[in-house]
């Protein structure tokens, strides 16, 4: 018995210590999540506030038999519609409101149509209309354009239509029910939208803007460190720390999903703050796609960074200077472009760096044109492949710069400060 008790207490202690370590782990993760983006904490409290306000409104109202059961639609609307960014919230809210209106209207019509028929046929008509409308609208959700912007609306349309058609109430009751449902949804939706927009709003458009700039910056970080890392690594092979910090560009490779959804949300947002003009959101998609193209090339370059191939020192010395120059000039140009996007200024110094990068590429080419190496081709190929890929990166940078300039002219970026310009060029 004593040993049994001992075993039990040991088991309990294990469970207890496991539980404590789990809680500590979760708390650490939560702290990290909150520190990464404090807006997450604020968003959580905003949701709590909105739900509490609507709940209490409903709670007190219920005592006077005002809204009754329908009022839970208000709470439900807040829970379901409140999203992280204003755009996503507005998108869902508008979708929900319009879909409820249309679905409710069509439902009332179907209900009235069916009520003209006899009791037996009524049931058949209702069943058939629910079947066909639900099937047709479900199929509509497969259209890519509908899926991107109105998926939630189509869902709510089916829901409202079915609930009203099959409610089994009398005609006047149905209209009364549809009205009350719509008004409660409006109350919930308005509370959500106001709290979302007025207390520390998170704009998807701004996030997209920053995300695009940071993608370009990540490419620039790789290119800045690359020259040093590549030529030193093959000389010294002890730059592990240096190489690790170059991996940031990898997140750009899979950026399409995030960008697509941010653009989709941003399109729902009204003009605000620095986005006073009709923002050309699709231009951000173009820049994103070019950034990814550049990242693919950088990924190909990166695989040579870690290879063991030894290039003869003489060749390496010869091309080290133009290659490093190309890479760093591209890096500066990209950083300028990223800064330009961040501060919404037309960056002119990016063009200077691009001209420099192009000049280095030309220099490298002419160097190669005259060079007739007396060594094994095999040994020099990896290095020359890197050089060739760098030339491709230069042309990619040019494309990105053009695209960013187009964005600048479309969304009316500020002209650069002439005083600052002078300092930079001098």
- In the window 279-338, what residues touch a copy of itself (CB under 8 A)? 292-293, 296-297, 299-300, 303
C-beta closer to a copy of itself: residue 29 or 282: 29
Question: Quick one: which segment of 15-23, 59-67, 189-197, 209-217 binds a copy of itself (CB under 8 A)?
Answer: 59-67
The rounded distance, in Å, linking the Cα atoms of 99 and 103 is 6
Choice from 381, 409, 415, 417 touching a copy of itself (CB under 8 A): 381
CB atoms within 10 A of CB 65: 7
H-state helical runs in 69-170:
72-81, 86-116, 119-140, 144-165
Question: Quick one: which segment of 184-192, 199-207, 222-230, 374-382 binds a copy of itself (CB under 8 A)?
Answer: 374-382
As measured in angstroms, the least distance from the Cβ of 308 to a copy of itself is 12
Sign of CA dihedral 397, 398, 402, 405: positive
Question: Quick one: which segment of 13-21, 33-41, 236-244, 399-407 binds a copy of itself (CB under 8 A)?
Answer: 33-41
Question: Which of these, 186, 192, 168, lies nearest to 70 by C-alpha position?
Answer: 186
Copy the structure tokens of residue 138.
């479900």
Q: Is 53 in contact with 191 (CB distance < 8 Å)?
A: yes
Question: Which of these, 297, 83, 293, lies nearest to 207 by C-alpha position?
Answer: 83
Considering only residues 233 through 262, tell me which ones interact with a copy of itself, judged by CB under 8 A: 253-254, 256-257
- Say whether residue 374 binds a copy of itself (CB under 8 A): yes
- Say whether residue 372 binds a copy of itself (CB under 8 A): yes
C-beta closer to a copy of itself: residue 72 or 175: 72
Considering only residues 155 through 174, tell me which ones interact with a copy of itself, judged by CB under 8 A: 155, 158-159, 162-163, 165-168
- Say whether residue 371 binds a copy of itself (CB under 8 A): yes
C-beta closer to a copy of itself: residue 100 or 279: 100
Query: Which DSSP helix (H) or strand (E) runs through 260?
Result: helix 256-266
The rounded distance, in Å, linking the Cα atoms of 49 and 85 is 16
Considering only residues 82 through 101, tell me which ones interact with a copy of itself, judged by CB under 8 A: none
CB atoms within 10 A of CB 213: 20
Considering only residues 126 through 145, tell me which ones interact with a copy of itself, judged by CB under 8 A: 126-127, 130-132, 134-136, 138-139, 142-143
Residues in the chain: 426
Question: Quick one: which segment of 47-55, 226-234, 326-334, 410-418 binds a copy of itself (CB under 8 A)?
Answer: 47-55
As measured in angstroms, the least distance from the Cβ of 315 to a copy of itself is 10
Copy the structure tokens of residue 88.
């996503």
C-beta closer to a copy of itself: residue 165 or 234: 165
Copy the structure tokens of residue 190.
């308005």
Q: What is the SS3 assignment for 345?
A: strand
């Amino acid at each position: 018995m004593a040993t049994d008790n001992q075993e039990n207490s040991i088991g309990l202690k294990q469970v207890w210590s496991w539980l404590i370590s789990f809680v500590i782990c979760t708390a650490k993760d939560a702290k990290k999540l909150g520190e990464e983006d404090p807006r997450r904490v604020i968003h959580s409290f905003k949701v709590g506030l909105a739900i509490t306000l609507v709940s209490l409104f409903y709670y007190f109202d219920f005592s006077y038999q005002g809204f009754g059961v329908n009022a839970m639609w208000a709470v439900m609307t807040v829970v379901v519609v409140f999203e992280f960014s204003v755009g996503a919230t507005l998108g869902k809210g508008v979708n929900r409101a319009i879909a409820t209106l249309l679905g409710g209207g069509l439902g009332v019509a179907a209900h009235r149509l069916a009520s003209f028929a006899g009791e037996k046929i009524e049931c058949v008509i209702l069943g058939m209309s629910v079947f066909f409308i639900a099937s047709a609208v479900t199929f509509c959700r497969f259209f890519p354009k509908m899926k991107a912007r109105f998926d939630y609306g189509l869902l709510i349309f089916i829901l409202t239509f079915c609930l009203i058609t099959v409610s089994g109430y009398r005609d006047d009751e149905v209209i009364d029910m549809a009205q009350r449902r719509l008004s409660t949804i409006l109350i919930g939706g308005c509370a959500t939208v106001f709290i979302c927009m007025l207390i520390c709003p998170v704009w998807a458009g701004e996030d997209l803007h920053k995300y695009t700039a940071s993608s370009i910056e990540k490419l620039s970080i790789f290119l800045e460190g690359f020259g040093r890392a590549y030529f030193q690594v093959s000389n010294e092979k002890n730059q592990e720390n240096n190489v690790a910090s170059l991996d940031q560009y990898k997140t750009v490779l899979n950026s399409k999903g995030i960008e697509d959804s941010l653009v989709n949300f941003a399109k729902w947002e009204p003009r605000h703050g620095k986005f006073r003009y009709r923002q050309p959101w699709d231009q951000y998609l173009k820049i994103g796609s070019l950034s990814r193209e550049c990242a693919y090339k950088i990924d190909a370059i990166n695989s040579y960074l870690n290879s063991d191939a030894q290039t003869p020192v003489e060749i390496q010395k010869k091309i080290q200077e133009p290659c490093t120059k190309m890479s760093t000039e591209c890096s500066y140009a990209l950083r300028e472009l990223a800064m330009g996007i961040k501060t919404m200024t037309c960056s002119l110094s990016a063009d200077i760096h691009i001209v420099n990068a192009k000049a280095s590429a030309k220099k490298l080419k002419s160097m190669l044109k005259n060079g007739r190496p007396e060594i094994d081709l095999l040994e020099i190929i990896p290095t020359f492949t890197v050089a060739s890929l760098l030339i491709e990166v230069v042309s990619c940078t040019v494309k990105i710069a053009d695209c960013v300039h187009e964005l600048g002219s479309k969304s009316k970026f500020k002209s650069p400060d002439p005083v600052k310009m002078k300092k930079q060029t001098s």
